[in-house]
């Protein structure tokens, strides 16, 4: 990877327990950290029984994001990435919160799936403690979820995200702060039940060493070592002694370990119990602790995107191969869609980077649904893209991509775009029109080149200009364009051609 210009990069992780921000320069293949900020927001504790964020938790989060926003104000927008994890995946009023949060921070926030969170965590660990020899089990206990990954070097063999974290387990088993042996036991049992279906597969894959990452495990490491229960990492014996000590103390407020902050006290016992359950389920004797985590993974992923090493490109290639997509046809459609994009992007105010990427990816996999059936394959494709684990993609990006696939043929499904936030909806509708036209013009699937086609676009119209007599010599295309005129009326677009 070549060295970027000497510009700062920032990654922000809106976790269920803490919000983290890391600012760094990338020099000669290594990150130089220049600033770290962490605030214990405990967003997960603000979820009520209906999975809606409380007004108090929203205010706390927005205040934190305003402070973060001041720090990143001078950093180029393209050098910033912000992601939300489990709690924002769960929150029913998440879209409302995001509309406020984007404004408070001054930068859009992506929601990532659990698998993507696991991938980024592993990349953070791999880049900060590279080891191309040993197969590593990485464990990350967050506020709302726990991620488990096995990999070697930068390659991942298996990864999972489980709905158990120090905050939601605290709400479930330690809601009044009392620490009792029975409650610890219930938490451990819950963790083992969550892991039950994974244990055999993980043991079959195997690992040489185990590593923990992020705040919960780092704090446990600091506590057991300061107590003299182990010299390095976290041993099973030391963890057992910590459990006994917490039961002896009996109340979260009464914990007095110097290494434990006041903010972490309410969720410490639940985090310890979850880790104890993982130790028991996987038969672990010891784990070490890595300095890298999700935010470092975000930074390296972001740097890759800016220097033509975008994991999303590889993901689309993998999807194309997995579902047997006709690559020749996909590339023909992609090239024509790109050509149309460059002719209208200024008039339609399309983004040269983000919007073009979505259009390219949509063109490459628009026929993914054929792997299920030809009838309604655009609907099948929508489903596959929406619910697949696509490495590198946020939830918002997958929805945009899915709607391109859904709308590339037949009637124009304007209502389908309601799932896209207002700010991005018009752009995705316009991208879908470009993709539809590219697909239509390559319906014959011939390898022959299309003639030079000029395209002009206005707010509610799009005009195609073909060479003289070309449409007369291609009556099927002419017929398809006439049908498309009726379809695009649903999007309030008048299509003309000559």
CATH number at residue 43: 3.30.420.40
pLDDT for 2: 41
In a domain, 2, yes or no: no
**Same domain for 167 and 286?**
yes
**Same domain for 164 and 264?**
yes
Q: Tell me which of 280, 303, 326 is where a domain ends.
A: 303
Q: Which of 118-132, 187-201, 411-425 has the highest mean pLDDT?
A: 187-201
pLDDT > 50? residue 20: yes
**Same domain for 254 and 315?**
no
- For residue 194, give the nearest of 91, 119, 280 by alpha carbon: 280
> What's the mean pLDDT when you consider all of the chain?
93
In a domain, 119, yes or no: no
In a domain, 468, yes or no: no
Whether the full predicted model's pTM is greater than 0.85, yes or no, is: yes
Q: Predicted confidence band at 1 (pLDDT cuts at 50, 70, 90)?
A: very low
In a domain, 35, yes or no: yes
Sheet architecture: strand order including 209-213: 155-162, 146-152, 136-141, 209-213, 286-289, 234-235
What DSSP line would sit under 394-451, residue for residue?
-HHHHHHHHHHHHTSSSS--GGGGGGS-HHHHHHHHHHHHHHHHHHHHTTT--SSPPP
**Same domain for 170 and 284?**
yes
Cα dihedral angle (311, 313, 314, 316), rounded to 10 degrees? 120
Residue pair 430/440 in contact by the 8 Å Cβ criterion? no
pLDDT for 353: 85
pLDDT > 70? residue 432: yes
pLDDT > 70? residue 5: no
**Same domain for 387 and 242?**
no
Residue pair 229/311 in contact by the 8 Å Cβ criterion? no
pLDDT for 4: 45
pLDDT for 456: 96
Q: Predicted confidence band at 29 (pLDDT cuts at 50, 70, 90)?
A: low
Residue pair 310/317 in contact by the 8 Å Cβ criterion? no
Supply the range of the domain harboring residue 154: 130-290
pLDDT for 28: 72
DSSP E strand stretches across 153-277: 155-162, 209-213, 234-235
- Enumerate the H helices of 107-180 as residue ranges: 114-128, 166-173
pLDDT for 31: 74
**Same domain for 168 and 276?**
yes
Average pLDDT over residues 245-263: 95
**Same domain for 72 and 170?**
no
**Structural domain count of the chain:** 3
pLDDT for 309: 83
**Same domain for 286 and 314?**
no
Residue pair 147/140 in contact by the 8 Å Cβ criterion? yes
**Same domain for 343 and 419?**
yes
pLDDT digits (tens, 9 = 90+) for 434-488: 999 999 999 988 777 899 999 999 999 999 999 999 999 999 999 999 999 999 9
CATH number at residue 147: 3.30.420.150
pLDDT > 70? residue 211: yes
């Amino acid at each position: 990877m070549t060295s970027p210009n000497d510009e700062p990069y920032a990654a922000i992780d809106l976790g269920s327990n803490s919000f983290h921000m890391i600012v760094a320069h990338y020099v000669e293949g290594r990150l130089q950290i220049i600033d770290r900020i962490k605030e214990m927001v405990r967003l997960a504790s603000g979820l009520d029984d209906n999975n809606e964020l409380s007004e108090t938790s929203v205010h706390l989060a927005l205040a934190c994001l305003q402070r973060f926003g001041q720090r990143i104000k001078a950093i180029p927008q393209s050098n910033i990435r912000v992601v939300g994890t489990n709690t924002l995946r769960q929150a029913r009023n998440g879209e409302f919160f995001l509309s406020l949060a984007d404004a408070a921070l001054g930068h859009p926030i992506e929601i990532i799936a659990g698998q993507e969170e696991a991938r980024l965590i592993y990349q953070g660990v791999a880049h900060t403690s590279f080891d191309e020899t040993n197969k590593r089990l990485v464990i990350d206990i967050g506020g709302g979820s726990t991620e488990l990954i096995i990999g070697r070097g930068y390659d991942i063999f298996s990864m999972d995200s489980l709905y158990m974290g120090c905050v939601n387990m605290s709400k479930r088993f330690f809601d009044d702060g009392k620490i009792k042996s029975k409650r610890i036991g219930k938490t451990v049992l819950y963790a083992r039940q969550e892991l039950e279906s994974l244990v055999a597969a993980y043991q079959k894959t195997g690992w040489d060493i185990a590593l923990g990452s992020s705040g919960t495990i780092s704090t446990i490491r600091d506590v057991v070592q300061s107590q003299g229960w182990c010299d390095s990492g976290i041993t099973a014996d030391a963890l057992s002694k910590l459990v006994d000590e917490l039961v002896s103390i009996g109340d979260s407020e009464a914990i007095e370990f110097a290494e434990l902050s006041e903010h972490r006290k309410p969720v410490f016992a639940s985090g310890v119990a979850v880790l104890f359950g993982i130790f028991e389920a996987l038969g672990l004797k010891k784990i070490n602790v890595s300095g890298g985590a999700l935010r470092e993974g975000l930074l390296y992923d972001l740097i890759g995107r800016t220097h033509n090493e975008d994991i999303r490109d590889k993901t689309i290639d993998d999807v194309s191969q997995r579902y047997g997509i006709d690559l020749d046809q996909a590339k023909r459609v992609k090239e024509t869609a790109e050509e149309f994009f460059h002719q209208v992007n200024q008039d339609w105010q399309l983004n040269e980077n983000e919007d073009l990427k979505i259009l390219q990816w949509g063109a490459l996999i628009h026929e993914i649904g054929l792997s299920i059936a030809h009838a309604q394959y655009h609907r099948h494709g929508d489903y596959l893209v929406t619910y697949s684990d696509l490495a590198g993609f946020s939830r918002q990006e997958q929805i945009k991509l899915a709607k391109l696939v859904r709308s590339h043929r037949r009637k124009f499904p304007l209502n389908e775009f309601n799932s896209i936030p207002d700010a991005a909806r018009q752009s995705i509708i316009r991208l879908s029109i470009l993709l539809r036209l590219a697909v239509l013009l390559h319906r014959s699937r011939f390898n022959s080149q299309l003639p030079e086609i000029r395209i002009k676009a206005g707010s509610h119209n799009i005009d195609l200009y073909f060479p003289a007599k070309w449409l007369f010599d291609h009556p099927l295309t002419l017929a398809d364009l006439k049908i498309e005129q009726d379809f695009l009326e649903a999007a309030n677009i008048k299509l003309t051609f000559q």
